[in-house]
Each structure stands twice: as structure tokens, then as C-alpha cells.
Amino acid sequence: MSDRLLRTLRGFVFDLDGCVWNGSVLNPGAGETLAALDRSGRALAFVSNNSRATGDDLRERLHQLGVTAARHVLTPLEIIGEVIRQRFGPSRVLVVGAPEMAAVIARAGHELVDVKDYRAATVVAVGNDFDLSYERLTAAARAAARGAPLVTPNVDPRLPIEGGDFLPGCGAIVEAVAFAAGVRPVVVGKPEPPLFRIALERLGLAAATTAMVGDSVPSDIRGARAVGMRTVLYAPASGAPAGEADLVVDSFAELARLAGVGQS
């Protein structure tokens, strides 16, 4: 993708964890670049694989960090309950994950199953679980091994946080369950198409006129390319070659320059 083409794009969809922010800190230049893109008339959306927060939660967090241009923010929690319903009908769901994920699944009309009653589960939903125990891991694996489909918001192995560090991601927990059960999960979030397509619908833009900006090739770049979007890999430290992405930037300042907007 040429520099000139980047200037002609009408919208940008940004990944959050590892791209716009790490933990609770915006990455350098992110706030200024997002504001400049908004002033220039570009449409903006944000898509996160977060399995512990809704889009409303993350939009509020962005606003608190000064990113007032954040209006369209999506996570797999927006659609996980509906995905389960479409694929498997009204279900008895064993949830290993955050209370927020359990709540949205229950609101979608599914019955929540206690860990001790894992044999009654018809679906297992696994997200990033900060209260993970061996009992919970065992129950999820046993239920999946008994035939309950395994559903997850994402298979990202790491959750980037401040200072270049990370926490084990949702994918690390899901892989443990899947490996023990001998099954593969149904993935709701990136790189699967639904969140990308919903973001484009919210923006009212065609895929070819919109770029996905993210730090993950498997999740952001491949997922966006599959729906026809342009792709920008944010790689501040690695100096990664373009490879599968249309363009690689090492900073938000570079992204602003190539997009033809000034930071202030």
C-alpha cells in the first residue's frame, strides 16, 4: 500500500491492547494521532479481543484517557451470546471467565451452569479468568471432552500490559482446556470476520476504503485481510518487515504523517 493510498482512506479501525494502549497507558502519540484523524474527517472504530469488558466499558476507559473520538468500540462480548444461540440454540453454559462474560451470556437467554454441575453443560465458554483454579480448568475440560462445544472470545496467547510486560492471555487458558479435552474451540473474536464486519457497518464504509491498524499479524492483519480491509501493522520495537500487512509503522507519529494529518 502506497503512502498516497493511506491518505485516501476514509476510515481506520484500531486494535486496543498492544496497539492503542498497554495496560492502562496510551502508547506514545496514540491520543494525538487519533484526535488528528478525527479532525480530518476520518471515521474511527476500535475492536478489541478483550474477554472481560464490553464495548461500552472500553469506550468509557478511552474517554477517561482523553480519546474523546472513541464512539464505536467492539469486543467479543457484544456477540458471544448470539453466536452460541445461532450455533447451538438456547444452551446450558459453563463459563470459565470474567463475571462480565457470564452476564452477557445470561442476558442472551442462556442458562449458566455451576462448575460442580459441569456434566449438565451443553456449551463451555472460556475467557481470560483472573480467578482461574484447577477445579475450574478441570470442569471446563471434562465438559468439553463429554461433547459440549468449546466457545471462546479469542485465542490470543498474551495480554500486553505496561512496561512491555504481559499476562497470559485468553488463548493460553483456552488451549489448556482444548488440549486436555481433545477438541478445538469456536472463536468469536478476531481473526474471525464478525467484529470486523460489524465495525465496517457501524462506520458505514466499504472494506477497501478502511484500514485495520493493529500489532498482531494472526489476529489483526490476517483477520482484516480476510474481509477485504487494508492493513497497517503497528510494530514499534521489532522493525518488522511488511510481510502480510500492506504497511508497517513504528510509531503513531509515522502513521499520522503517512495519513496526511498533523499531531497537536
pTM tops 0.85: yes
Q: Provide φ and ψ at 119, rounded to 5°.
A: -65, -20
**Nearest-angstrom CA–CA distance, 79 and 64:** 25
- Mapping DSSP to helix (H, G, I), strand (E, B) and coil, where does residue 102 land? helix
Query: What is the mean predicted confidence (pLDDT) over 198-225?
Result: 96
Which set of grid coordinates corresponds to residue 87? 450455533
Q: Is the pLDDT of residue 76 over 90?
A: yes
Q: Is the pLDDT of residue 245 over 90?
A: yes
Of 113, 116, 156, nearest to 136 (Cα)? 116
Which set of grid coordinates corresponds to residue 69? 473520538
**Nearest-angstrom CA–CA distance, 202 and 196:** 10
Structural domains in the chain plus CATH codes: 3-77+190-259 (3.40.50.1000), 80-157+164-187 (3.40.50.1000)
**pLDDT for the residue 24:** 87
Of 62, 32, 47, 50, nearest to 252 (Cα)? 32
Q: Is the pLDDT of residue 3 over 80?
A: no
Which set of grid coordinates corresponds to residue 254? 509515522
**Nearest-angstrom CA–CA distance, 113 and 90:** 13
Instruction: Mark out the alpha helices in the chain (DSSP H runs).
Output: 3-8, 30-39, 55-64, 80-88, 99-107, 134-145, 170-181, 193-203, 222-226, 252-259
Of 141-150, 160-169, 247-256, minimum mean pLDDT range? 160-169
Question: Whole-number mean pLDDT of the chain?
Answer: 94
pLDDT band at 1 (very low <50, low <70, confident <90, very high): low
Element (H, E) at 150: strand 150-152
